[in-house]
Amino acid sequence: MTAFILRRSLQSIIVLFVMSLIVFVGVNLVGDPVDMLINPEADQAEIDRVIRDLGLDRPVSEQYWYFVVNAFQGDLGRSFIFGEPALKLIIQRMPATMELALFSLLMAVVFGIPLGIYAGLKPNSKVSKTIMAGSILGFSMPTFWVGIILIMFFSVSLGWLPSTGRGEVATYFGITSSIFTLDGLSHIFLPAFNLALFKLSSVIRLARAGTREVILQDYIKFARAKGVAESRVVRVHLLKNIMIPVVTIIGLEFGSLIAFSTVTETVFAWPGMGKLIIDSIYNLDRPVVVAYLMIIVVIFVTLNLIVDILYSVLDPRVRIKGVS
Amino acid sequence: MSAPSQTQNASLPASGLRKFWSDFSESPTAVIALFVFFLILFIAIFAPWVSPSDPYDLTSVDIMNSRLPPGSEDFSGNFYLLGTDGAGRDMLSAIFYGLRVSLGVGALSGFVALIIGAALGLSAAYFGGRFETITMRIVDIQLSFPSILMALIILAAFGKGVEKTIIALILVQWAYYARAARASALVEKNKEYVEAAHCLALGNKRIILSHIAPNCMAPLIVVGTLQTAHAISLEATLSFLGLGLPITEPSLGLLIGNGFEYMYSGDFWISIFPGVALLITIVSINLVGDQLRDMFNPRLQK
């Protein structure tokens, strides 16, 4: 067990190192930030001073070394545009992204499970077939285009819901979020639904498959024979048993929601870290781009490591296969 | 419908052609999807000839005609079925040209990814040992990252451009092919015909290429179909974000992105129609891929 964890941790460190190298060297080959950040009317002395301040005159290898040393001290560079530490900028925007991802996860579960159970209980009804066709469409439709359709329909044509920004935020128990205000809720609804759509399709499929499997089990038959009301069979006996795989998968896929929020945040101008990275790429704000990519890689590598370890605890075969 | 079936079966022996088509046409949805896909392919290939006008010919595009609604006519009597965009280009023509770019990038990246992935996957299964362990470890690691994130990292690090987008799509996709190729090669390499080839003292290269590889094609074709749809969707997303193709290669994603700013003033067609074209393309490829998967799935075979 310890050997397994050690080997996986070592592997994670290698992945982190390779990623940091790719990201750093790659970003250093893009454009020339000197042209973009220095006033064209500045004299040579001024240009030299800024280049020295930003460390742009050093060789790339040396810049990388400083980057690694500083990264371990929590310093991922200073934004060229905002003049603030890149890490601070990203952490400031992280709650908005987390809030969006969590809210859409909630939506996927709240809408997906009843629809999936219904499709599983009555697999041949017209409604079920519509639900399943809808879930195929949900898989096929590109997220950004659905977002545009949602804005066009609900914001531009009907004028029901706002399409940009986070709205009013309020703070309770030390958490600042827009879900505590009515205005904030109206702002989060469309982007969260957009982000949830893809996951919604998988939840529907999982819930349907689970329902069709569980419904044949003896305890369901027994509950029915005992005369338990059908609604109670579904709510208690069925729901509890299909939740396990659904929750597992949803938990594992939380990371991909954060990755996909880049797209949704751009469409809905949601002030999260996904929008920050896209803006920073446009502006060639290298420290922010590098810092974002490193943070997201760290998040993913950590998530994957935790999942791997959890799996090996739950299923020893994973561990044994890893040894061979 | 005979033409599509022949094209589909070009790589299969002629005797299997009839059986293939009769299996495939069991699902009417898949036949319609295949027909739609060939129509799209035709439009994409012959875009310069089937388009009403050349949307990128500056002499024929007039800014005075910008943002005309669908079905309108300009002063010189040109008809715009799907309206015009912000620069006065005919949307229908722009979509036809966009399909060309989107399908081209999707197919090219899918093909290269197939070659690289299949080569690594087949060799991994055939040679085994340390090479297999390391290759498959890399595949696992790569598949644990969402594709959008991988593409984002590559494009954020190396910048936008046609070749960079294609490279990003290849790097995102190859692992899927490698996994599929290895899985089927592991089964094939223990079969008698491979043993017979060993007895004939054929070289490794020849055994892999002319004996194992042809027998692993079926699952790779399925993965290839579904992955191409995925690649087209991913390219559109990246181009929409402004990270993918440059403005000189206007794919469907870029067209949608260009229309986005006009949408708030109610000019829906500039964004919506390219999106519909994208959706039809992706759904038709996915439906064909689903049917192929069902056909090649031994558990569903009668």
Its ipTM equals 0.78
Contact by Cβ (8 Å): B238, B251: no
* Cβ atoms within 10 Å, residue B31: 19
The Cα of A293 is separated from the nearest Cα of chain B by a number of Å equal to: 7
**Does A243 contact B at CB distance below 8 Å?**
no
What part of A 193-222 touches B (C-beta under 8 Å)?
none
The answer to whether the CB atoms of B157 and A22 lie below 8 A apart is yes
Task: Give me the residues paired with residue B217 across strands.
Answer: none
Find, in chain B, the residue whose alpha carbon is nearest to that of A292: B153
**pLDDT of B6 over the 70 cut:** no
Q: Which one of B229, B243, B275 has the shortest CB-CB distance to A281?
A: B243
Residues of chain A with pLDDT under 70: 27-42, 53-54, 168, 170-176, 179-180, 251, 314-324
State the pLDDT at residue B8. 47
Task: Give me the residues paired with residue B80 across strands.
Answer: B72
**Does A192 contact B at CB distance below 8 Å?**
no
Q: Can you give the pTM of this predicted structure?
A: 0.82
A-chain CB neighbours of B106 within 8 Å are none
Domain residue ranges of chain A, discontinuous segments joined by +? 86-314
pLDDT tens digit string along A3-35?
888 888 888 888 888 888 877 777 666 556 566
Task: Please count the residue pairs, one from chain A and one from chain B, whose beta carbons lie less than 8 angstroms apart.
Answer: 115
B-chain CB neighbours of A249 within 8 Å are none
- H helices of chain B, in order, are 2-8, 14-24, 28-45, 47-50, 91-127, 129-143, 147-158, 162-188, 192-199, 204-206, 213-215, 217-241, 252-263, 269-296
Q: Which of B11, B3, B116, B42 is nearest to B284 (CA)?
A: B42
Q: Which of B217, B209, B187, B211 is nearest to B199 (CA)?
A: B211
| Paired tokens of A308 | 């791997």
The answer to whether the CB atoms of A22 and B271 lie below 8 A apart is no
B-chain CB neighbours of A26 within 8 Å are 154, 156-158
CATH architecture of A86-314: Orthogonal Bundle (1.10)
The Cα of B153 is separated from the nearest Cα of chain A by a number of Å equal to: 7
The Cα A183–Cα A170 span in angstroms is: 10
pLDDT tens digit string along B99-114?
988 999 999 999 999 9
State the pLDDT at residue A187. 81
The answer to whether the CB atoms of A282 and B237 lie below 8 A apart is no
The answer to whether the CB atoms of A15 and B260 lie below 8 A apart is no
Task: Assign B3 a pLDDT band (cuts: 50, 70, 90).
Answer: very low
